Amino acid sequence: MLKYLTSFQSQKPNLFGQEPQVTMFSKPDLEAGYNDTPITSNMITNVYLDFVEQTHQRESVDYCQTLTGMLKIILQVK
């Protein structure tokens, strides 16, 4: 039993099955590697607009249809 515990304690825990490989960043002037160009506000806007179109468009359509239905009911009551 002591041999098992000693062996268990000596092993490094690794959840991913293999040791992670550490690699150096490429040099800033290397065209195919690290890109030192800052993110622009246009880039952020485009990413956000793509996100909104993919996730919130259907939600907005449903909400507008609900408002339209409620308005029709209100106008019929009067």
Read off the pLDDT of residues 43-69 as tens digits, 9 standing for 90 and up. 899 999 888 888 887 888 889 999 999
Q: Are 35 and 27 in contact (CB under 8 A)?
A: no
Q: Which residue has the higher pLDDT, 20 or 38?
A: 38
Exposed / middle / buried, residue 7 (Cβ in 10 Å: 0-12, 13-18, 19+): exposed
Of 19-23, 36-40, 64-68, 70-74, the poorest mean pLDDT is in: 19-23
First to last CA, the chain: 85
- For the chain, the average pLDDT equals 79
Integer-rounded Cα Rg, in Å, for the chain is: 29
